[in-house]
Structure 1
Amino acid sequence: MDHVETGRRAADAGDWTAAGHAFVRAAMDGSTEGAELAVGVTDRLVPLADAGSADAAALLAGILLEYADESELPRAVAYARASAGAGHPAGQRTYGYLLQSGIGVEEDPLAAEGLFRAAAEAGDAFAAFNLGQVTDDFDESLALLRTAADGGIEVAGAVLADRLSSVDRDEEALRWYLWAAERGHVGCMNAAACWYRDGFGTAPDPMQAVRWFLVMSAYGNGDGVHESIQLVKAGALDEAGIREAGRLAGDPGAAEALLPFLP
């Protein structure tokens, strides 16, 4: 069952908090309908939040910040502050983000870090991601980003790969670029393809490079096609290698389109 349907069923049962969470998950997966439905349940969440539900307040703050218009910012701030004050991890993370960014409140990076830490210690993966980006302790940053990635936050893998690359831990960095690429992070697809092409963190592997360039193209980034053509024109792959790259990319047709560029 998809998240929108899960949310509809929860709404039919009168569980507006569960409905809101499901619609937000759908929106995070790219569903416009999910975002619209999330905004649509805010009026149902307000009485729950006003009655003291920290979960409803945190959810309401997140929806208003992400999917409502700017006029809702004061309400979003109020509900984020209330849920954070009640010790709710999502509320702490959201209010910490506002303090870190100075959105709707006076900027306070120190307070933000404290809220991120409290939420991360309570198991909030997004808070671990946020804290991993602001802590001055490099090793702690790596550990937090790994925790966030383990929690399913693909961009955490991308940031972790960048951090590892910055200290020349290239083999580890490539593994995390691949981890995020496999989960749909287009920037990491490009990084993986370029690293395989140029031999960073691994021996040069033009077939894997073309594979990831083709996947990039399937995700709408035309640079992948251009880069693939350049490798084929340079004679980096033979016909069998091109077809294998297409198979690995899940796009045999794109590989066939490269064959006329063989020297």
Structure 2
Amino acid sequence: MKRELDEGRTAAGAGDWVAAGHAFVRAAMEGSAEGAELAAGVTVELVPMADGGSAEAAALLAGIYLEYFDESALPVAVRYARAAAEAGLPAGQRTYGHMLVAGLGVEEDRARAVELFRAAAGGGDAYGMFNLAHLVDDPDESLRLLEAAAHEGIAAAGAVLADRLSALDRDEEALGWYVRAAERGHTGAMNAAACWYRDGFGTAPDPVRAVRWFLALLAHGDGDGVHEAIRLVRTGALTEEQIREAGRLAGDPGAAEALIGTALNGTALNGDRA
């Protein structure tokens, strides 16, 4: 998130407030409280741009007001989201569609939301594709939309797609999408990939990759992953070198060494030590 914060500050220094706002929002989405504070602060610069006719500024403002302000900001968020949608901006169409689906500051209108999400998706907006996938009646179209959104980098779309494919007993494909979503930081997909590699769903059992994703969960603040990794290691399924390989894949060699030390307080690892 430091990169996003730095990008935002650089853009702000150059007077590019839309780029700055987007960078700060990305940082906030990664869990940065500073990013959220800076995104809220950028609204002061975005308001005159939006009022002057900038659809991009209006769409960004609507999103910031929705996410980082209280309910008193809803009427203003609606106004800017509607303006951006009416200007034909995909981000505005998606944001206003979201408000219509959820009844946020407007009367709920699912049919109009579908129209807006479809327009946003047609304009290449990945979140528009993702949102539309949850509303269409055709299961095949929903799968296509989820796949398109996942290819555009929406990790949650990949995880949902994997769930849908799993329900269709297309386990090998499902595992592939869990892994892609996990690689993009989706913790639910990390847990699913770890468990599937451990249990051999969609592939032969692969304890190294299982531990890799359990360790990745730990790096994202989920302690359940390390407990699962300890249980797996204590079955004797991995050597010390395999655990180290899992740590290397997870980008956390230190966690692998800690895992080895913890596990060795229980049973030996495949005869590496008695």
TM-score by structure 2 length? 0.89
- Partners in 1 of 2:15 and 2:209 — Cα distance? 50
Does structure 2 conserve the Cα–Cα contact (< 8 Å) formed by 1:232 and 1:261?
no
- Partners in 2 of 1:58 and 1:234 — Cα distance? 53
For residues 46-73 of structure 1, the C-alpha deviation after alignment (integer angstroms, 9 at most, x for no partner) is 1221222211111110111111222111
Q: Read off the aligned partner of 1:10 and give its amino acid letter.
A: A
- Partners in 2 of 1:38 and 1:125 — Cα distance? 21
- Partners in 1 of 2:124 and 2:243 — Cα distance? 44
Cα distance change on mapping 1:86 and 1:215 into 2, 3 Å: same
Please report how far the alpha carbon of residue 35 of structure 1 lies from its aligned counterpart in structure 2 after TM superposition: 1.5
Partner of 2:160: 159
Partner of 1:47: 48
For residues 11-50 of structure 1, the C-alpha deviation after alignment (integer angstroms, 9 at most, x for no partner) is 3333322322232233223322222111112122112212
Provide the aligned length of Structure 1 versus Structure 2: 263
Does structure 1 conserve the Cα–Cα contact (< 8 Å) formed by 2:230 and 2:259?
no
Please report how far the alpha carbon of residue 101 of structure 1 lies from its aligned counterpart in structure 2 after TM superposition: 1.0
Q: Say if 2:264 is the partner of 1:259.
A: yes
For residues 153-178 of structure 1, the C-alpha deviation after alignment (integer angstroms, 9 at most, x for no partner) is 11111111111111011000000111
Please report how far the alpha carbon of residue 246 of structure 1 lies from its aligned counterpart in structure 2 after TM superposition: 3.0
Please report how far the alpha carbon of residue 227 of structure 1 lies from its aligned counterpart in structure 2 after TM superposition: 1.4
For residues 93-133 of structure 1, the C-alpha deviation after alignment (integer angstroms, 9 at most, x for no partner) is 00000111111111111111110000010011111111122
Q: Read off the aligned partner of 2:51 and give its amino acid letter.
A: D
Partner of 1:228: 229
For structure 1, the residue ranges without an aligned partner over 5 or more in a row are none
- Partners in 2 of 1:217 and 1:48 — Cα distance? 42
Cα-Cα RMSD: 1.8
TM-score by structure 1 length? 0.92
Percent identity of paired positions between Structure 1 and Structure 2 = 68
Query: After superposition, where does 1:1-263 map in structure 2 within 5 Å?
Result: 2-249=3-250, 250-251=252-253, 252-257=256-261, 258-263=263-268
Cα distance change on mapping 1:23 and 1:238 into 2, 3 Å: closer
Does structure 1 conserve the Cα–Cα contact (< 8 Å) formed by 2:207 and 2:238?
yes
Does structure 2 conserve the Cα–Cα contact (< 8 Å) formed by 1:125 and 1:151?
yes
Cα distance change on mapping 1:167 and 1:261 into 2, 3 Å: same
- Partners in 2 of 1:5 and 1:232 — Cα distance? 40
Please report how far the alpha carbon of residue 79 of structure 1 lies from its aligned counterpart in structure 2 after TM superposition: 0.8
